[in-house]
Each structure stands twice: as structure tokens, then as C-alpha cells.
Structure 1
Amino acid sequence: MAHPFIWAMRVIHAFEDRIVAAILRQPGFHRGVGRIHKYIDEKQNGRHPHEPLAPGEATADPNAPDQTRSFVKHFVDELRNQARGKPTDIDKPPHK
């Protein structure tokens, strides 16, 4: 008797065209692919000059530190302090 996994694979293989067609009919799939394409295109070629600005982008401070980098820096500093046995004093207010 065949293993249940083999039967499952046969069923999936038999309905593969229907599964692919169902995925391609979904507008969410095409939106996702479009977002990925736009992200990669902007990384490779820069922003399209005729694209409208994102909300808050026109008023964003270009000299402000990147939030992701500052979080990663803070996180790494915390790990180092804990490894040294000197955890950060939590009573101090955070500096900005």
C-alpha cells in the first residue's frame, strides 16, 4: 500500500493546473507581485520621478536618524551590556 504522502502528492499534482489558475484569479496575488516588483525596481533604479509622495514623506526630516538602525543599535548595546553583566539602568529616562 502506498504511503499517504504519495497519495497527497498525486492529488496535488492532478489538480495543479486548477490550483495555479485559482491563485492567478486572486487580485491579492497580483497586488503582492506588483508591490514586490515596485520595491525591487525602486531599489535598482531609484524612485520614479512621477510617483506621488507617500503620506508624511514631504514633511519627513531628511536628517532624522533611521528608526530601524537606531533600534538595532540599541538592541545590540543591550545584549552587550547583559553579556558583560551590566544591564542598563531602567530607572533612567531614555535619551532622544
Structure 2
Amino acid sequence: MSWFWLVERKLVETLLRSPTFHRSVQKIHKQVHQLQHGKPPEYHGGTNLEDPAAGSGVKNFVKLFWEELKSGHKPERPPNKKQ
């Protein structure tokens, strides 16, 4: 039985040194993690705040911030009730 143990040990060592084996284990782990916790926001495109036409930096931030302030603080009108 000792020859079987030596062959098994050599096969396990070869498998653990294989990059293909490690990549497949990583893929399986990623899929199990996504099933348990859902896909990360980056997978769906993230927030994507930067518009290439608008530019980036402080001016774009101030513009977006000001638009948010204007649209976020408008009081809603009550609906007209017809009797």
C-alpha cells in the first residue's frame, strides 16, 4: 500500500502546483460568492458620474452639486381635489 500512497502524494503535489487548477478554483469561488452576495456594483457599470462631454474636476462637481440642490429642495404641490 505504500506505493499507492507515494503515487497519490505525487499527484496531489502536481495538482496543487498547477496554475490551471488554481484558476478554476478561483472561478468557482467567485461564482459561489456572487450567488451568496449578488454581483458587485462595478459589474453593473458603477456610478459612472463622469460625462466625457461635460469634463471632470471641480467645475463639473459644482455644476452637479448645484443641480442637485435646485432639484432636491423644491416643495411638492398638493394635488388639486375636485369635488
Q: Is the shorter-chain TM-score for this pair beyond 0.5, marking a shared fold?
A: no
Structure index of larger Rg: 2
TM-score normalised to structure 1 length: 0.39
TM-score normalised to structure 2 length: 0.45
Higher fraction of helix: 2
